[in-house]
Amino acid sequence: MTDTGQSAVGRLGLYSRLVMLPHTVFALPFALTAVVLASYQHSVTPAKILLIVVAFTGARSAAMGFNRLIDHGVDSRNPRTRRRPLPAGKLSRGQAWLFVAGSVAVFELAAWLLGRLPLLLSPLALVVVLLYSLTKFFTSLSHLVLGLALSIAPVGAWIAVTGGFGAGVIVLAGAVLCWVAGFDVIYSLQDERFDRGEGLHSIPARLGAHGALWVSRGLHLATVALLAWTGTFFPVGFFFWIAWVAVTAMLVYEHRLVKPDDISRVNAAFFTVNGIVSVVFFLLNLVDRLV
Protein backbone atom coordinates (compact mmCIF):
# COMPACT_ATOMS: atom_id res chain seq x y z
CA MET A 1 0.00 0.00 0.00
CA THR A 2 1.28 3.48 -0.88
CA ASP A 3 1.94 6.17 1.74
CA THR A 4 -1.17 7.99 0.49
CA GLY A 5 -3.23 4.83 0.86
CA GLN A 6 -1.89 4.22 4.35
CA SER A 7 -2.62 7.84 5.27
CA ALA A 8 -6.21 7.55 4.00
CA VAL A 9 -6.78 4.32 5.93
CA GLY A 10 -5.31 5.90 9.05
CA ARG A 11 -7.56 8.94 8.68
CA LEU A 12 -10.62 6.73 8.27
CA GLY A 13 -9.60 4.92 11.44
CA LEU A 14 -9.42 8.22 13.31
CA TYR A 15 -12.89 9.24 12.15
CA SER A 16 -14.17 5.81 13.14
CA ARG A 17 -12.75 6.32 16.63
CA LEU A 18 -14.15 9.87 16.73
CA VAL A 19 -17.71 8.57 16.36
CA MET A 20 -17.13 5.18 18.04
CA LEU A 21 -18.33 3.39 14.92
CA PRO A 22 -18.63 -0.05 16.59
CA HIS A 23 -21.32 1.43 18.86
CA THR A 24 -23.57 1.59 15.80
CA VAL A 25 -24.49 -1.97 16.82
CA PHE A 26 -26.70 -0.56 19.58
CA ALA A 27 -29.48 1.27 17.73
CA LEU A 28 -29.18 0.23 14.07
CA PRO A 29 -30.56 -3.30 14.69
CA PHE A 30 -33.64 -1.76 16.33
CA ALA A 31 -34.15 0.44 13.26
CA LEU A 32 -34.00 -2.71 11.15
CA THR A 33 -36.38 -4.44 13.57
CA ALA A 34 -38.87 -1.63 12.88
CA VAL A 35 -38.47 -2.37 9.16
CA VAL A 36 -39.23 -6.05 9.81
CA LEU A 37 -42.35 -5.18 11.82
CA ALA A 38 -43.50 -2.67 9.21
CA SER A 39 -43.16 -5.34 6.53
CA TYR A 40 -46.16 -7.21 7.93
CA GLN A 41 -48.36 -4.64 6.18
CA HIS A 42 -46.06 -2.71 3.82
CA SER A 43 -43.64 -3.69 1.08
CA VAL A 44 -39.94 -3.13 1.68
CA THR A 45 -37.28 -2.81 -1.03
CA PRO A 46 -33.50 -3.30 -0.72
CA ALA A 47 -33.01 0.30 -1.88
CA LYS A 48 -35.17 1.61 0.96
CA ILE A 49 -33.31 -0.49 3.52
CA LEU A 50 -30.01 0.86 2.21
CA LEU A 51 -31.26 4.45 2.46
CA ILE A 52 -32.45 3.83 6.03
CA VAL A 53 -28.99 2.55 6.98
CA VAL A 54 -27.33 5.55 5.28
CA ALA A 55 -29.67 8.01 7.01
CA PHE A 56 -29.06 6.38 10.38
CA THR A 57 -25.29 6.39 9.89
CA GLY A 58 -25.29 10.05 8.83
CA ALA A 59 -27.39 11.21 11.78
CA ARG A 60 -25.43 9.17 14.30
CA SER A 61 -22.06 10.30 12.90
CA ALA A 62 -23.15 13.94 13.05
CA ALA A 63 -24.33 13.51 16.64
CA MET A 64 -21.17 11.75 17.81
CA GLY A 65 -18.87 14.19 16.04
CA PHE A 66 -20.73 17.12 17.57
CA ASN A 67 -20.56 15.44 20.98
CA ARG A 68 -16.79 15.12 20.70
CA LEU A 69 -16.48 18.79 19.78
CA ILE A 70 -18.62 19.88 22.74
CA ASP A 71 -16.71 17.56 25.09
CA HIS A 72 -13.25 18.43 23.75
CA GLY A 73 -12.13 20.32 26.85
CA VAL A 74 -13.70 17.87 29.29
CA ASP A 75 -12.22 14.88 27.44
CA SER A 76 -8.79 16.49 27.65
CA ARG A 77 -9.00 16.52 31.45
CA ASN A 78 -10.48 13.04 31.87
CA PRO A 79 -7.84 10.26 32.08
CA ARG A 80 -10.32 7.83 30.52
CA THR A 81 -10.93 9.93 27.40
CA ARG A 82 -7.84 12.05 26.83
CA ARG A 83 -6.52 9.63 24.17
CA ARG A 84 -9.51 10.17 21.91
CA PRO A 85 -8.60 11.70 18.52
CA LEU A 86 -9.52 15.32 19.35
CA PRO A 87 -7.91 15.70 22.80
CA ALA A 88 -4.91 13.67 21.60
CA GLY A 89 -4.44 16.15 18.73
CA LYS A 90 -4.78 13.50 16.01
CA LEU A 91 -7.73 15.35 14.48
CA SER A 92 -8.27 19.11 14.49
CA ARG A 93 -11.51 20.82 15.43
CA GLY A 94 -11.80 22.04 11.85
CA GLN A 95 -11.59 18.48 10.56
CA ALA A 96 -14.20 17.38 13.08
CA TRP A 97 -16.55 20.20 12.08
CA LEU A 98 -16.18 19.28 8.40
CA PHE A 99 -16.97 15.67 9.29
CA VAL A 100 -20.11 16.76 11.16
CA ALA A 101 -21.23 18.93 8.25
CA GLY A 102 -20.65 16.11 5.78
CA SER A 103 -22.59 13.68 7.99
CA VAL A 104 -25.53 16.10 8.19
CA ALA A 105 -25.49 16.42 4.39
CA VAL A 106 -25.53 12.63 3.99
CA PHE A 107 -28.43 12.35 6.42
CA GLU A 108 -30.46 15.05 4.69
CA LEU A 109 -29.84 13.57 1.26
CA ALA A 110 -30.99 10.14 2.44
CA ALA A 111 -34.05 11.69 4.12
CA TRP A 112 -34.95 13.49 0.88
CA LEU A 113 -34.68 10.25 -1.10
CA LEU A 114 -36.82 8.42 1.48
CA GLY A 115 -39.79 10.75 1.02
CA ARG A 116 -41.54 13.96 1.95
CA LEU A 117 -42.31 13.17 5.60
CA PRO A 118 -38.78 11.92 6.45
CA LEU A 119 -37.39 15.11 4.90
CA LEU A 120 -39.82 17.35 6.80
CA LEU A 121 -39.01 15.65 10.11
CA SER A 122 -35.25 15.46 9.55
CA PRO A 123 -34.44 18.87 11.16
CA LEU A 124 -36.34 17.87 14.31
CA ALA A 125 -34.44 14.58 14.44
CA LEU A 126 -31.14 16.45 14.14
CA VAL A 127 -32.07 18.85 16.95
CA VAL A 128 -32.80 15.94 19.28
CA VAL A 129 -29.66 13.95 18.49
CA LEU A 130 -27.44 17.02 18.78
CA LEU A 131 -29.12 18.31 21.94
CA TYR A 132 -27.83 15.36 23.97
CA SER A 133 -24.29 16.73 23.82
CA LEU A 134 -25.32 19.78 25.88
CA THR A 135 -27.54 18.13 28.49
CA LYS A 136 -24.75 16.83 30.73
CA PHE A 137 -23.95 20.45 31.57
CA PHE A 138 -27.33 21.16 33.17
CA THR A 139 -29.36 18.01 33.95
CA SER A 140 -28.88 14.53 35.39
CA LEU A 141 -31.54 13.34 32.95
CA SER A 142 -28.99 13.42 30.11
CA HIS A 143 -29.18 9.60 29.96
CA LEU A 144 -32.86 9.83 29.03
CA VAL A 145 -32.11 12.38 26.32
CA LEU A 146 -29.54 9.98 24.85
CA GLY A 147 -32.19 7.28 24.96
CA LEU A 148 -34.62 9.59 23.20
CA ALA A 149 -32.03 10.35 20.51
CA LEU A 150 -31.45 6.66 19.75
CA SER A 151 -35.16 5.85 19.95
CA ILE A 152 -35.61 8.01 16.85
CA ALA A 153 -33.94 5.22 14.84
CA PRO A 154 -36.88 2.75 14.83
CA VAL A 155 -39.43 5.55 14.43
CA GLY A 156 -37.55 7.00 11.48
CA ALA A 157 -37.21 3.60 9.83
CA TRP A 158 -40.92 2.96 10.34
CA ILE A 159 -41.88 6.30 8.78
CA ALA A 160 -39.57 5.63 5.83
CA VAL A 161 -41.38 2.34 5.12
CA THR A 162 -44.97 3.24 5.99
CA GLY A 163 -45.14 6.98 5.36
CA GLY A 164 -46.63 7.64 8.81
CA PHE A 165 -46.58 6.81 12.51
CA GLY A 166 -47.84 3.72 14.34
CA ALA A 167 -48.63 2.88 17.97
CA GLY A 168 -46.54 -0.28 17.91
CA VAL A 169 -43.35 1.45 16.83
CA ILE A 170 -43.87 4.20 19.42
CA VAL A 171 -43.93 1.51 22.11
CA LEU A 172 -40.80 -0.05 20.58
CA ALA A 173 -39.14 3.38 20.64
CA GLY A 174 -40.04 3.67 24.33
CA ALA A 175 -38.31 0.34 24.95
CA VAL A 176 -35.19 1.57 23.13
CA LEU A 177 -35.25 4.82 25.13
CA CYS A 178 -35.35 2.96 28.47
CA TRP A 179 -32.78 0.39 27.35
CA VAL A 180 -30.25 3.00 26.18
CA ALA A 181 -30.76 5.23 29.24
CA GLY A 182 -30.32 2.21 31.50
CA PHE A 183 -27.03 1.08 30.02
CA ASP A 184 -25.74 4.66 29.74
CA VAL A 185 -26.23 5.01 33.50
CA ILE A 186 -24.05 1.92 33.95
CA TYR A 187 -21.42 3.30 31.55
CA SER A 188 -21.38 6.61 33.44
CA LEU A 189 -20.33 4.86 36.65
CA GLN A 190 -16.77 5.09 35.33
CA ASP A 191 -16.87 8.89 35.54
CA GLU A 192 -18.83 9.34 38.77
CA ARG A 193 -15.99 11.04 40.66
CA PHE A 194 -14.75 12.99 37.65
CA ASP A 195 -18.22 14.32 36.84
CA ARG A 196 -18.68 15.59 40.38
CA GLY A 197 -15.32 17.35 40.26
CA GLU A 198 -16.15 18.99 36.93
CA GLY A 199 -19.70 19.93 37.89
CA LEU A 200 -21.13 17.67 35.19
CA HIS A 201 -24.55 16.10 35.64
CA SER A 202 -25.25 12.37 35.63
CA ILE A 203 -27.31 9.98 37.69
CA PRO A 204 -24.19 8.33 39.20
CA ALA A 205 -22.83 11.75 40.15
CA ARG A 206 -26.17 12.67 41.73
CA LEU A 207 -27.17 9.40 43.41
CA GLY A 208 -23.93 7.48 43.73
CA ALA A 209 -23.27 4.01 42.33
CA HIS A 210 -25.85 2.22 44.49
CA GLY A 211 -28.70 4.58 43.62
CA ALA A 212 -27.68 4.76 39.97
CA LEU A 213 -27.79 0.99 39.57
CA TRP A 214 -31.32 0.89 40.98
CA VAL A 215 -32.36 3.52 38.43
CA SER A 216 -30.75 1.43 35.68
CA ARG A 217 -32.57 -1.69 36.87
CA GLY A 218 -35.88 0.16 36.81
CA LEU A 219 -35.24 1.40 33.28
CA HIS A 220 -34.39 -2.09 32.07
CA LEU A 221 -37.45 -3.54 33.74
CA ALA A 222 -39.47 -0.97 31.77
CA THR A 223 -37.58 -2.06 28.63
CA VAL A 224 -38.67 -5.67 29.07
CA ALA A 225 -42.30 -4.65 29.68
CA LEU A 226 -42.38 -2.35 26.64
CA LEU A 227 -40.85 -4.99 24.35
CA ALA A 228 -43.55 -7.44 25.44
CA TRP A 229 -46.18 -4.77 24.75
CA THR A 230 -44.68 -4.19 21.31
CA GLY A 231 -45.40 -7.79 20.41
CA THR A 232 -49.12 -7.29 20.95
CA PHE A 233 -49.34 -4.81 18.04
CA PHE A 234 -48.09 -7.21 15.37
CA PRO A 235 -48.86 -10.76 14.19
CA VAL A 236 -45.61 -12.03 15.68
CA GLY A 237 -44.90 -15.67 16.39
CA PHE A 238 -42.73 -17.98 18.43
CA PHE A 239 -39.35 -16.42 17.60
CA PHE A 240 -40.42 -12.93 18.71
CA TRP A 241 -41.07 -14.28 22.18
CA ILE A 242 -37.82 -16.25 22.16
CA ALA A 243 -36.14 -12.91 21.38
CA TRP A 244 -37.97 -11.31 24.30
CA VAL A 245 -36.84 -14.07 26.68
CA ALA A 246 -33.25 -13.77 25.41
CA VAL A 247 -33.20 -9.98 25.89
CA THR A 248 -34.63 -10.33 29.39
CA ALA A 249 -31.99 -12.90 30.33
CA MET A 250 -29.17 -10.77 28.93
CA LEU A 251 -30.30 -7.67 30.81
CA VAL A 252 -30.43 -9.68 34.04
CA TYR A 253 -26.91 -10.92 33.29
CA GLU A 254 -25.75 -7.35 32.59
CA HIS A 255 -26.81 -6.25 36.04
CA ARG A 256 -25.04 -9.19 37.62
CA LEU A 257 -21.77 -8.00 36.07
CA VAL A 258 -21.74 -4.62 37.81
CA LYS A 259 -21.84 -3.97 41.56
CA PRO A 260 -21.77 -0.65 43.43
CA ASP A 261 -18.32 -1.52 44.80
CA ASP A 262 -17.00 -3.27 41.68
CA ILE A 263 -17.33 -1.65 38.25
CA SER A 264 -14.39 -3.49 36.71
CA ARG A 265 -16.70 -5.23 34.22
CA VAL A 266 -18.55 -2.14 33.06
CA ASN A 267 -17.21 -2.45 29.51
CA ALA A 268 -18.42 -6.05 29.24
CA ALA A 269 -21.82 -4.99 30.56
CA PHE A 270 -21.99 -1.90 28.36
CA PHE A 271 -20.66 -3.01 24.98
CA THR A 272 -20.66 -6.80 24.79
CA VAL A 273 -24.03 -7.53 26.39
CA ASN A 274 -25.92 -4.63 24.84
CA GLY A 275 -24.46 -5.28 21.40
CA ILE A 276 -25.73 -8.84 21.64
CA VAL A 277 -29.15 -7.62 22.90
CA SER A 278 -29.87 -5.50 19.83
CA VAL A 279 -28.48 -7.94 17.26
CA VAL A 280 -30.24 -10.98 18.74
CA PHE A 281 -33.55 -9.13 18.96
CA PHE A 282 -33.32 -8.08 15.31
CA LEU A 283 -32.18 -11.47 13.97
CA LEU A 284 -34.86 -13.44 15.82
CA ASN A 285 -37.52 -10.97 14.64
CA LEU A 286 -36.27 -11.43 11.09
CA VAL A 287 -36.46 -15.22 11.45
CA ASP A 288 -39.93 -14.85 12.93
CA ARG A 289 -41.03 -12.79 9.92
CA LEU A 290 -39.54 -15.17 7.40
CA VAL A 291 -40.98 -18.38 8.85
**Domain locations in the chain?**
12-290
Which residue in 195, 186, 175 sits closest to 217, CA to CA?
A: 186
Cα distance between residue 257 and residue 263, in whole Å: 8
The proportion of the chain whose per-residue pLDDT surpasses 70, expressed as a percent, equals 94
Cα distance between residue 57 and residue 59, in whole Å: 6
For residue range 181-220, list pLDDT tens digits in order.
999 999 999 999 999 999 999 999 999 999 999 999 999 9
Q: Where are the alpha helices (DSSP H) in the chain?
A: 3-18, 28-38, 46-70, 72-77, 93-114, 116-135, 142-162, 167-188, 192-198, 203-231, 238-257, 266-267, 274-290
Averaged pLDDT of the chain: 92
Cα distance between residue 71 and residue 198, in whole Å: 12
Q: Does domain 12-290 have CATH number 3.30.1510.10?
A: no
- Stretch 139-168: mean pLDDT: 96
For residue range 103-127, list pLDDT tens digits in order.
999 999 999 999 999 999 999 999 9
Cβ-count burial 73-102 (b if 16+ within 10 Å, e if not)? ebbeebeebeebbbbeebbeeebbeebbee
From the CA atom positions of the chain, what is the Rg in Å?
19
The pLDDT of residue 31: 96
For residue range 23-78, list pLDDT tens digits in order.
667 789 999 999 999 999 999 999 999 999 999 999 999 999 999 999 999 999 99
Task: Provide the 8-state DSSP code for 163.
Answer: S
